Structure 1
Amino acid sequence: MMATPSVVNTSVFPDEEFISVAKQVNNPDFTGYEFYIETMGVKFYRKYRQSSGLYEYKVHGVMDLDPIICGNVYVDWEYRKQWDKYVMELYPIKDEQSNKEGLYWKVDFPFPMSDRDYTFIRDMKVVQLDGAITPVVIARSEPFASYPENSDVIRVDDYCQECAMQSDGKSGAKAYMHYYDNPKGMIPTWLINWGAKYGVPQFLQTMQDACKNYPQYVNDQGRTLIPSPEPAIIA
């Protein structure tokens, strides 16, 4: 099911990139990664980035959610403000000079740390891979001249996320995610890495709950869930 969306689709990523991410659902590439933790039926792998002293992560496994609904939840920025308690501001933006479209996102960090904000581009496409419907979401930080940095907030300019989901043939979804985020500032790297260990599993649980509540939210908004979306890419 796809919802009549409250999303921002930039269409800036090539089809080949969506296909590459979709293939990770059944054939994940963990070259250079080490196993980290396992929770909620998914395994976490990580790779150290020498340049930042931080890790990037890959997540793979089966989750109790509908892959199409999950794709909707990922990109529905209005709904994100309902279920993510750390969202302070989140809305579409547009660069007046280039007409580039994206999102502005301000995140609440616990005291005494400064809050963070992002400007980024994101897109979702449904890939039909070997006959299987696979929603794929790609997001990356991107500067927007119309939304310069604010001295009261630390701008995160090194962020990327890719995720893909596919039915497991039962009631759940095979899921893959690749994620990296450098929050900068004076936060010790050990604390950031520790937060990733516990924060990402917590996010997955919150995301799973948000997916289960999404059909009711869409109905309350007077919108429609569209079953069996037509794929944008066939591979």
Structure 2
Amino acid sequence: MAQQSTHSEPALAAPEFESAAAELDTPDLTGYEPFVTHKEFTIYRRPREPLYEYKVVGVLAGIDPATCLAVYTDHQYRRTWDEYIKDIRAIPDTDGGHYCRIAYPWPLAHRDYVYWMRTRLLGDGDTQVSVTIGRCHHHPAFAEVKGVVRVDSYAQTLVMRKASGGTLGTQVFMEYFDDPKGHIPSWLINWAAQKGVPAFLDQMHKACLNYPGRK
């Protein structure tokens, strides 16, 4: 989503959450190809020139959905386990507005994001599904900073539910696109995705196991 000239919080309609929840059981993989298999996850990609967009399906074993959602949305905790996060915070007086700055390896400049993230819980009990949608937007209090590249094309959807089969685990569907801009070769970005997405899944799994609020 491109930046807007005026500040207005983006609208996310109920059908967007319901459509995302439906992909938990039957992901729409039209145009996607298998990219990486990692433990209990399969990562798919589809061209979005000059980059790719990704879908991830699988199970986080040994973790309940409530813990997964808490870890994903707990910014203070993320500072402790994600080494690439240099700044992440909620934007005051907004409904789901956030700011995040991520470190890129030298000599690349850091990237930062202004985005909205909202979660809805659909259903209840063991079949309850959590849907968290994040989209880039604009906020006048967070102008671009010299030396940091502002990412204005970013979207992420995370859907989770208790895994079936009677074993402890969380069934996961994630959809992701990020255009970091700048003079980065597309092959390098795609190589980083091949390594980075599995690494993030491992980090999040470990963070869930160590989460202070875990029952």
Same fold (TM over 0.5): yes
Alpha-carbon deviation of 1:22?
1.0
**Contact 2:126/2:162 (CA < 8 Å) preserved in 1?**
no
**SS in structure 2 of the partner of residue 218 of structure 1:** coil
The aligned residue for residue 151 of structure 2 is 156
Q: How far apart are the structure 2 equivalents of 1:47 and 1:124?
A: 25
1:1-50 C-alpha deviation (Å, 9 max, x unpaired): xxxxxxxxx89422221111111111111011111111111111101012
Identity, in percent, stands at 38
1:1-235 maps to which residues of 2 (within 5 A)?
Answer: 12-50=11-49, 53-64=50-61, 65-94=63-92, 101-128=96-123, 132-169=127-164, 170-214=167-211, 217-218=212-213
Query: Which sits farther off after the overlay, 125-134 or 27-36?
Result: 125-134
Alpha-carbon deviation of 1:218?
3.0
Gaps (5+ residues) in structure 1?
A: 1-9, 220-224, 226-235
Q: How far apart are the structure 2 equivalents of 1:44 and 1:123?
A: 24
- The amino acid across from 1:14 in the alignment is A
Alpha-carbon deviation of 1:137?
0.8
After TM superposition, the runs of 4+ consecutive aligned structure 1 residues lying more than 3 A away are: none
Q: How far apart are the structure 2 equivalents of 1:173 and 1:131?
A: 11
Q: How far apart are the structure 2 equivalents of 1:94 and 1:69?
A: 25
The aligned residue for residue 230 of structure 1 is none
**Contact 1:41/1:62 (CA < 8 Å) preserved in 2?**
yes
Q: How far apart are the structure 2 equivalents of 1:90 and 1:146?
A: 15
Alpha-carbon deviation of 1:63?
2.0
**SS in structure 2 of the partner of residue 123 of structure 1:** strand
Gaps (5+ residues) in structure 2?
A: 1-8
**Contact 1:126/1:136 (CA < 8 Å) preserved in 2?**
yes
1:171-229 C-alpha deviation (Å, 9 max, x unpaired): 11211000000111111110000000010000000000111111xx238xxxxx7xxxx
Q: How far apart are the structure 1 equivalents of 2:69 and 2:192?
A: 25
TM-score, length-scaled by structure 2: 0.89
TM-score, length-scaled by structure 1: 0.81
